[in-house]
Amino acid sequence: MLASSAGRGWSTIAAELRSHPAGRIVSVAQQSVEIVIAVCGADDGFVIRTGAGRRQQARPTSGTIWLAPIGIGDEEITITAPIPEALHLYLPARQFNLLADRYNLAGSPVHAIQYRGGLNDELIRQIGLSVLTEMMRETSTGRMFAEVSSLMLAARLAHDYADSSALDPGPGRSHRLDNARLRRVLDHIERHLEDEIVVAGLAEMAHLSTFHFTRMFTAAIGIPPYRYVSRRRLENAMAMLAVGRLPLSEIAHRSRFSSQASFSRAFRRATGMPPGEYRRLVR
C-alpha cells in the first residue's frame, strides 16, 4: 500500500494506491464496484484474471483499466511482471442507486456492471488521476470532489459498461436550477464556508438530484460546485490573512484543511506563494 484515502472522511468513494509484485492473488467477494487503473504500469508481462465465469488477459501498460462488479467471489489474478503503481477505486452501491434520479430505471444498475479488463477509457483514467491527486494533495473541498467524482464514475460505468437492459435513458427532468434556487444555494455556501458542505445537501436545497444539480450548477456558474466552494474558501482565507491576526493554524482549520501544512501547500499552489508571505505583502 503506497497511499490511501482512509482518514479523509470520504464516504462516496474509497481509493488506494498500491504496488503489485509478480504473483497470484485470490480476492474475496466484492462489496463495492472496483475500478483498477495502472498509473505506472509495465510493458512486459500480463495480468490474467479469472472471475464471473470468464478468463481475461491484458498487458498492464499505463492507463489500462480493469472493472470488478459487486458480488464477484473467488476471483483469481495472476500478475506476471511487477506493476509499480495501480490505483484501486471502490464505488459503493448507493452511488449507482442515485442514478435512478436521472434515468428511468427498473432498479439500480449496480448489479449490471460487467466484469471487464484491458480497457482504455480516457474519461475514467482522467477522473481516477484527479482522485489520486486529491488523495495525495489535500484541498479544502476534498469530500465534495470525491462525491462528484464517484457520481461521474458511476454514470460512466452504467452507460458504457453495464448490460444493455440496465439503463434506459428517460426524458430530462422538468426541474431546473432557476435564479431563485441558485441564489439560495450560493447564499448557503457563503454562510457556511467554514462548515462542512456536501453536494447532496446543496442539491436537496435546490430540490434536484445530486447528479442533475451538479450538471445544472456547472452550466450556470461555469465550474463544478466543489471548485466554486474551493475558490470561495481561498478568497476567504486571503481576506483573513489580509485583515486579521489569526494564526495560520486557525485559518487552515476555518478553511476546512486537516492541518496547517496541507493549507500552506494548497495556498501556494493556488497563489504562487505561501500564506505567510502573502500576509506580509498585503499588510
* DSSP secondary structure letters along the chain: --EE-TTS--SS-EEEEEEE-SEEEEE---SSEEEEEEEE--SSS-EEEEETTEEEEE---TT-EEEE-TT--SEEEEESS-EEEEEEEEE-HHHHHGGGGTS--SS-GGGGB--EEEE--HHHHHHHHHHHHHHHS--TTHHHHHHHHHHHHHHHHHHHSB-TTS----PPPS----HHHHHHHHHHHHHTTTS---HHHHHHHTTS-HHHHHHHHHHHHSS-HHHHHHHHHHHHHHHHHHH----HHHHHHHTT-SSHHHHHHHHHHHHSS-HHHHHHHH-
Mean pLDDT by 10 residues, the chain (283 residues): 92 96 86 95 93 90 94 87 96 83 66 91 94 92 92 88 62 67 94 93 89 88 92 93 89 92 91 91 80
Q: Residue 56: what pLDDT?
A: 94
Q: Which residues contact 103 (CB under 8 A, 6 or more apart)?
A: 167, 168, 169, 170
CATH class (in words) of the domain with range 172-283: mainly alpha
Domain residue ranges of the chain, discontinuous segments joined by +: 3-160, 172-283
Q: Residue 164: what pLDDT?
A: 61
Q: Residue 4: what pLDDT?
A: 96
Q: Which CATH architecture has domain 3-160?
A: Sandwich (2.60)
Q: Residue 174: what pLDDT?
A: 46
Q: At 39, which amino acid appears? A: V
Q: Distance between CA atoms of 61 and 86, rounded to whole angstroms?
A: 10
- Grid cell of 235 as nine digits: 478568497
User: Measuring CA to CA, which residue among 236, 227, 229 is closest to residue 254?
Assistant: 236
